[in-house]
Structure 1
Amino acid sequence: MNSADVGARRRLIVMQRLRERRRRLGLTQKQVVSRLGRLGVLTTNKALSSLEHGAGLDVAKLPELAHALECTVTYLLGMTSDPRSWAPDSPASAQQQAARDPAAATRPRVAVGSREGWARRPDLAHRPANTPAGLVNSLPPTRNQPPHA
């Protein structure tokens, strides 16, 4: 896997972890924005939504995001399955986690393309015309998005 693929994969992991953690805590985006504001990070609901959808990720804000979401940076980076753990999971503990959560194997995965820096997220319903046909998402178009041929 080349460095562009690794970078794309890490961004997608952070994006998923941000959204999943906020939802697991039962927080709205507005509540997370308020928590970030108390930590000195001024942002908006729209900006947080963009982060949760993979746009505009600033690694300098990861510590504040982790604090607001009551987890560690290690968790946001996908290096541990425990939101409270700073230590990365060992390969053995990752296997134990898979045994405890068999549904994890069936969750949507991200397809990383051969084009440098290009990746498809499983929740995007359409693709730009210049993307490789082999990486098309099979989900139906979402509201306000015309289908692309």
Structure 2
Amino acid sequence: MRERRRTLGLTQREVVGRLASQGSRTTNRALSSMENGRGLDLGLLPDLAESLECTVTYLLGLAEDPHCWQPDHDGRPPVRAVQPVLEEAGRAAGVLGPEIPTGFAAPGRIRRRGRPIAADGG
């Protein structure tokens, strides 16, 4: 995103102004965060693409050409879908359960000799 903005010779303030003229509100700080890979607002992607005169595919890093909608295919095998580690290990899948992973302690829980305290305090 930053690379495209700089290629067009735009400041963050100018991009924020372009977004505002399209009805999308954001700040320089929010744009800076997005350029640094933090806090990407997916709802802004189409307007960002228009403001930066490129495609959403390009902004997501899937195309080298800023005007190309099709992702690049460089001969690498497709990325494997992410599977929960617990599922691959043969344990129950879920956010953390129904089985809690070995060694897991919820935030704020005290560990005793490397083991989390049981829910009943023992």
- Aligned pair count reads 76
TM-score, with length taken from structure 1: 0.48
What residue ranges of structure 2 are gaps of 5+ in the alignment? 77-122
Structure with more relative contact order (C-alpha pairs < 8 Å, separation 6 or more): 1
2:6 aligns with one of 20, 23, 26: 23
TM-align CA RMSD: 1.5
Query: Is 1:57 the equivalent of 2:37?
Result: no
Q: Secondary structure at the match of 1:91?
A: coil
5+ long unaligned stretches in structure 1: 1-17, 95-149
Larger radius of gyration: 2
2:62 is the alignment partner of 1:74: no
Measured in 1, the distance between the counterparts of 2:59 and 2:7 equals 13
Pairing 1:38–2:9 present: no
Identity of aligned residues (%): 61
Q: TM-score normalized by structure 2?
A: 0.58
Partner Cα distance (1:33, 1:61) in 2 = 11
